[in-house]
Chain A
Amino acid sequence: MSRSITLGQYLPGNSYVHRLNPRLKILALLLLLVLLFSLNSFAGLFSLLAMALLLLFSARIPFRYFLKGLRPILYIVIFALIIYLFFTKGGVVLLRIGSFTIESEGVREGFFVITRLITLIIFSLLVTLTTTPLSLTHGMSFFMKPLSKIGLPTDEVAMIMAIALRFIPTLMEESQRLMRAQVSRGADFETGSIFRRAQNLVPLIVPLFVSAFRRADDLALAMEARGYRLGAKRTRLHVDKVLPADLGTLIFVIILIAAAFYFKL
């Protein structure tokens, strides 16, 4: 009845990756992604993949979670593989189906691209699975900060994001509760044509909207009562300290990039 949103679901833990500063995690992720896309050799790519898997293992993330996270991009991976297999020419002809041929260069390119995609997903999952949505938002608002110079309300945007993230599980729970309530009144959300099903969603969507607006109203009132004002400077209770491990990680990533360029990997 409910589809879980794995991509980006935080898994509590106390590993090395978990303890890293969220800002640094975001920065390192960006740098590693740049590196990932500038690599041209299997040697470089596989060492990065190995590193990603090692980190995934050290963060004690169940393999099942990782597979679940991969599922959304499965079609992209398969699609990319097919395109490369059939349309990249060069090398030896391996297989001939009618007028189509699969050539060795296509196989090489295809596997290169999907390995790159999978590594990309692992690194992203590493960040989202080991960082609470709230720290992630704070981390991102740190990088958006310069935009406030040109008049963008970055603090407010961060607040909106934090609130939205905070209410995803609440609304999921609410919609599940409502769904059960209407099912117990004989509602059917699973059969019928697409139009019929869309129509059947009304008993779910109307109460969900009503409660979302009521919640928003309550929250706005509560925030104002506690002195929230637009444009006011906010401080945080938990300040992310930059620890030696964070600096070490950053330096390691930079060395990695420099090495990749030096050895033309």
Chain B
Amino acid sequence: MSIRTEKLTHIYMPGTPFAAEALNEVTFEIKKGRVALLIGPSGSGKSTLIQHLNGLLKPTSGQVYFDDQSIQSSKAELLRLRRKIGLVFQMPEEQFFSETVFDEVAFAPRNLGLTDESLAESVYNALNRVGLNAEEFKDRHPFNLSSGQKRLVAIAAVLSIKPEVLILDEPTAGLDPAGRQKLFNLLADLNSNEAITILISTHHFDEVVTLADQVMVLKDGRLVMDGPRDQVFNNREKLESLGLALPSVTELMQDIAAAGFQVKTGIYNLEEARREIGRMKERQF
């Protein structure tokens, strides 16, 4: 049970003067129940890659496998796939078109053929799942929510089909710190309690790094790094040569370790760093 690509290559507008290679022989695997982070500068091909995983774009060459089955482009097959792989686009609240939160969240399950009773149930579950009280929010107008609430509704709109894999493109973009924290808690919860496989694409590091099991780095359409999180973040020179900075806390902890102090280095948030430095002081004195 995994999501996997093999030599995935995508060329936009092939055969025209505008032809541009967006992905070049990208091969990777994300195991079931893991959280993977896809990082890389803007324009490195992250969005293109993500859209292949849900059959929205067809590879120019190469393959995408879900549960060891090659993703085919037959219509029935794609619909089946889209019930299992939920994709949250960048700024997903820009896709809103309904007059109520209920209809917005119900859009995907309705398209996938859920009937009225189970439909309402899955909408309520999805709203409650993201921490919005379904009774309170279902009749509100989606355009009148705060940006954090809009993002949660957009995620609920994808969770309503109960996907096995959740893919998010820049999920924290445009959110305030409180909204980011809420989103982070939600993702952690979905992963640990429901074993949903999560792939997050981002170009800046924040709380989500703490969640990641695996980190992949994309640059100019090529997968240049792929491995367990700590292994990738320990290779600071390579990351920096790719124009990517470590999370500042991680960088600081690595500097402290490099200065000869005994501290753990695989640390990605302030809280953990604080605790580790506390422990270091106890050991030192």
A185 at the interface (CB under 8 A from B): yes
- Number of interchain pairs (Cβ within 8 Å): 58
CA distance A183 to B81 in the complex (A): 12
Mask for A162-179, Cβ within 8 A of B = 1, else 0? Answer: 000000000000000110
Question: Chain A residues with Cβ under 8 A from B89's Cβ?
Answer: 177, 180-181, 184
Is A11 a contact partner of B17 (Cβ separation < 8 A)? yes
Give bound CA distance, A116 to B83, whole Å: 55
Give the contact stretch, choosing among A93-101, A136-144, A200-208: A200-208
Extra contacts besides A181-B89, A184-B82, A206-B97 (9): CB < 8 Å: A183-B56, A184-B54, A184-B87, A185-B82, A185-B157, A186-B110, A186-B161, A187-B107, A210-B96
B234 at the interface (CB under 8 A from A): no
Contact of B94 among A180, A188, A202, A211 (CB under 8 A): A211
Given contact pairs A181-B92, A207-B95, A186 touches B54 in the complex (Cβ within 8 A): no
Residues of B within 8 Å of A182, CB to CB, are 95, 107
Q: Report, as a range, how many residues of chain B touch the other chain.
A: 20 to 34
Contact with A along B78-103 (1 / 0, CB 8 A): 01001100110100101111000000
Is A12 within 8 A of B97, CB to CB? no
12 A-B residue pairings within 8 Å (CB atoms) = A180-B56, A181-B95, A184-B87, A184-B89, A186-B82, A186-B83, A187-B111, A203-B107, A206-B97, A207-B94, A207-B96, A211-B94
User: Within the complex, what minimum Cβ distance (angstroms) separates A105 from chain B?
Assistant: 43
Residues of B near A181 (CB, < 8 A) are 87, 89, 92, 95
Interface residues of A in 187-205 (CB under 8 A from B): 187-188, 202-205
Closest to A179 in B: B56
- On whether the beta carbons of A188 and B111 are closer than 8 Å, the reply is yes
Contact between B79 and A186, CB atoms less than 8 A apart: yes
Encoded as 1 (CB less than 8 Å from any A CB) or 0, chain B from 31 to 59 comes to 00000000000000000000100101000
Chain A residues closer than 8 Å to B143, beta-carbon distance: 210
- Seen from chain B, the residues whose Cβ lies within 8 Å of a Cβ on chain A are 16-17, 51, 54, 56, 79, 82-83, 86-87, 89, 92, 94-97, 107-108, 110-112, 143, 157-158, 161
- Residue of A with least CB distance to B54: A184
Taken together as a complex, chains A and B put the C-alpha atoms of A205 and B95 apart, in Å, by 10
CA distance A204 to B82 in the complex (A): 19
A186 near B112: Cβ-Cβ < 8 Å: yes
Contacts of B158 in A (CB 8 A): 185
Kindly report which residue of chain A lies nearest to residue B51, judged by CB atoms. Answer: A180
State the CA gap A180–B82 with chains docked (Å).
Answer: 12
Q: Shortest beta-carbon distance, B59 to chain A, in Å?
A: 15
Please determine whether B95 and A203 come into contact, CB atoms closer than 8 angstroms: yes
Counting chain A CB atoms within 10 Å of each CB, which of B16, B83, B94, B108 scores highest?
B94
Residues of the A chain whose Cβ atoms lie less than 8 Å from the Cβ of B161: 186
Contact of A185 among B16, B51, B94, B111 (CB under 8 A): B111
Q: How large is the interface on A (under 10, 10 to 19, 20 to 34, 35 or more residues)?
A: 20 to 34
Q: How many Å from the CB of B158 to the closest CB on chain A?
A: 7
Q: Specify the chain B residue showing the minimal Cβ separation from A211.
A: B94
Q: Note all chain A residues with C-beta closer than 8 A to B56.
A: 180, 183-184
> What's the Cα separation between A186 and B111 when bound, in Å?
5
Residue from the set A11, A180, A185, A206 with the largest chain B CB neighbour count within 10 Å = A185
Tell me which residues across on chain B come within 8 A of A177, comparing CB atoms.
89
Picked from A12, A185, A210, the residue with its CB within 8 Å of the CB of B108 is: A185
Inter-chain contact B17/A12, CB cutoff 8 Å:
yes
- Residues in A whose Cβ lies below 8 Å from that of B94: 178, 207, 210-211
Cβ of A188: which chain B residues have Cβ within 8 Å of it? 111
Task: List chain A residues, Cβ under 8 A from B110.
Answer: 186
Q: Mark A198-240, 1 if CB is under 8 A from B, else 0.
A: 0000111111001100000000000000000000000000000
Measured CA separation A79–B86 after assembly (Å): 49
Name the residue of chain A whose CB is nearest to the CB of B79: A186
Closest 9 CB pairs of A and B: A186-B111, A206-B97, A185-B108, A184-B87, A181-B89, A203-B97, A180-B56, A181-B95, A186-B112
A12 to B18, CA, bound (A): 10
A178, A184, A205: residue with the most chain B Cβ atoms closer than 10 Å: A184
CA distance A202 to B89 in the complex (A): 19
Closest to A203 in B: B97
Q: Contacts of A184 on B, CB cut-off 8 Å?
A: 54, 56, 82, 86-87, 89
A59 to B108, CA, bound (A): 49
Expressed in whole angstroms, the minimum distance between the Cβ of A251 and any Cβ of chain B is 32
CB < 8 Å: which of B97, B108, B157 contacts A202? B97
